[in-house]
Amino acid sequence: MRRRGFLLAAAGIGLTSACGSFTGTAGGGRIAVDLAFAPTQGLSPYGDDGLLLSRLAVVDGLTRMDTDGVVHPALAAEWTRTNDTTWEFTLRDARFQDGGAVTADAVVGALRAAGRAEVTPRVLSDVRLTVRAAGERTVRITTGTADPLLPARLANPSLAIFSPAAYGKKGGAVDPVGTATGPFALTKLNGAVSATLDRFDGHWAGKAAARGVDVTFVADNNARANALRSGQIELAEFVPAAQALVLGDRARKVATVRTTTLYLNTRTGPLADPALRAAVRENTDTSALAKSVYEGYAEHATGLLGPGFAWADGQQLPVTGRTKAATPHGQRLTLATYTNRAELPEVAAALQQQLERAGFKVKLVVKDYARLETGALDGEYDAFLMSRSTALDTGDPVSYLASDFTSGGSFNISQLRDKTVDAAVRKAAGLDHTERQHAVLAAEAAILRTDAAVPIVHEEHLQGVGAGVRGVVLDPYERQFVGLETRAR
């Protein structure tokens, strides 16, 4: 399925957003939800925990991105681009869940805190923001260089706005309990086990349809699907393709901008040799994996960007200058992946077999994602298989390319340090519209030339929705799941 690429509902110099808001309907009971990934940072928003807060409708940013990648007003009712590097955002009348008003000073404090975070949010990895209040309800944001994606950047959950009470915690963490602005307030977090959310009746768009959300974090894919099938829960995130037939219409297929990719360690270990990385790439049969493991819910990948970007689909540039593959001669590799996504362990096992047939000796490590992330970022594994949204940060792939493949990237699992790649991504970041798209394709080719990553499949995924449940948000960008209108019969 093809989907539209990134769009702006408000774009162009001096253009002001004019998209309407959505309206909630009060009433309904509570919703039980099983999520695949547990929080790793106490639901502080600056890492992937921000996505959990977003999928549970706890947070708002100045803007929001819909399921087509279109950016709309949220806490900012409108915005204007006054010159190439300066934007002004006019705030709507909104309140924090702790009762305080959303003011320009509060927004400035929240965005500055994100910029000072101990681990910089990926969405800020390629931009420098200067933020100040220009009135009680006006926020002025200046970027170091022209950034046409700023409204989309501000829709990222890592830049959600919390009340002043959320900040000043040890280590720069944000306390999200009762301090956000979304339709549901986080009232209790039980570590990596569960969370309780209650409806926030003061939300600017109206009351949510459900009274609250009871969340359990369940890494076991079949356990989530079984709980949905038995009626214990109303919603289950990322159910396995193998259970689609049993679940029937409770398994909802969603097109994604997600690519399963094998990241190869370019800095240490045997795959620091580009000839051995080339051997991994040449001996990986992605077509077989798409057909067997994903049971028709994926297509084999030849590039990093899939059909979720209509402008990139079929437009991949030739990859030239690759190193010739060497014979492995029994080189030992450690290949790691995680259990939270149903198909990954099976894909990893198939890759192990393929690479061992080619002459490698492969040790497989499979654990919960939370137990692997630090090691993966530190270069502990020779190869790391993961499912990655290529538009997660801004709805545009440049942030993904910058965070995953540039020398200063905050999610550079491949440990890649390549001046040509850095320059290509930097060039794409400074362009707009068609020129930006062409530059993105050139940057993709530069990355593939290094064999730092082997694209495996472009995914579709299945969300589990119980009978009688209405208003679930099936989002290709994976920022939404529970919404203002989500309710159970």
What pLDDT is recorded for position 257? Answer: 87
Return the C-alpha torsion angle 384, 386, 424, 377, nearest 10.
-50
Longest CA–CA separation in the chain, Å: 67
Secondary-structure class of domain 7-218 per CATH: alpha beta
Instruction: Provide the 3-class DSSP secondary structure of residue 8.
Output: strand
- For 474, counting Cβ atoms within 10 Å of its Cβ (0-12 exposed, 13-18 middle, 19+ buried), the class is middle
281-296 pLDDT tens trace: 999 999 888 888 887 7
139, containing H or E segment: strand 138-143
CB 341 within 8 A of CB 463: no
Q: Is the dihedral of CA 364, 397, 479, 98 positive or negative?
A: positive
- What's the pTM? 0.76
d(CA 415, CA 220): 30
Report the 10 Å Cβ neighbour count for 188: 12
Q: Which residue has the tokens 């297929």?
A: 253
Residue 388, phi then psi, degrees to nearest 5? -130, 130
d(CA 97, CA 103): 14
Return the C-alpha torsion angle 182, 187, 189, 193, nearest 10.
-90
392-410 pLDDT tens trace: 688 889 989 999 999 989 8
d(CA 95, CA 209): 19
CB 159 within 8 A of CB 51: no
The secondary structure of 226-238 as a DSSP string is HHHHTTS-SEESS
Q: Where are the domains of the chain?
A: 7-218, 258-460
Give the single-character DSSP code of 101: B
d(CA 378, CA 249): 42
d(CA 455, CA 464): 27
Side by side, which strands form the sheet with 7-8? 7-8, 70-73, 63-65
Tokens of 486: 């989500």
Query: Residue 132 — left, alpha, or beta (φ > 0 → left; ψ -120 to 50 → alpha)?
Result: beta
CA distances 100 to 24, 33, 122, Å, are 21, 29, 29
For the chain, how big is the Rg over CA atoms in Å? 22
d(CA 235, CA 35): 8
CA distances 432 to 217, 313, 464, Å, are 40, 19, 37
Picking from 159, 152, 63, the residue whose alpha carbon sits closest to that of residue 108 is 159
- CATH code 3.10.105.10 for 258-460: yes
Picking from 58, 60, 152, 55, the residue whose alpha carbon sits closest to that of residue 107 is 60
Q: What is the pLDDT along the chain (489 residues), one digit of tens a residue?
A: 323 333 344 333 333 333 333 333 444 699 999 999 999 888 999 988 999 999 999 999 999 999 888 899 999 999 999 999 999 999 999 999 999 999 999 999 999 999 999 878 888 877 889 999 999 999 999 999 888 889 999 999 999 999 999 998 777 789 999 999 999 999 999 999 999 999 999 999 999 999 999 999 999 999 999 999 999 999 999 999 889 989 999 999 988 888 999 999 999 999 999 999 999 999 999 988 888 888 778 888 989 998 778 788 889 999 999 999 999 999 999 999 999 888 899 999 999 999 999 999 999 999 999 999 999 999 999 999 999 989 868 888 998 999 999 998 989 999 999 999 999 999 998 888 899 999 999 999 999 999 999 999 998 889 999 999 999 999 988 899 999 999 998
CA distances 434 to 100, 218, 297, Å, are 43, 42, 30
Picking from 351, 347, 341, 399, the residue whose alpha carbon sits closest to that of residue 372 is 341
Tokens of 91: 């705030």
The CA angle 96-99-100, to the nearest 5 degrees, is: 70
Residue 335, phi then psi, degrees to nearest 5? -110, 125
What pLDDT is recorded for position 20? Answer: 36
CB 280 within 8 A of CB 271: yes
What residue type is assigned to position 359 of the chain?
G
Tokens of 341: 């996504």
Give the single-character DSSP code of 300: E
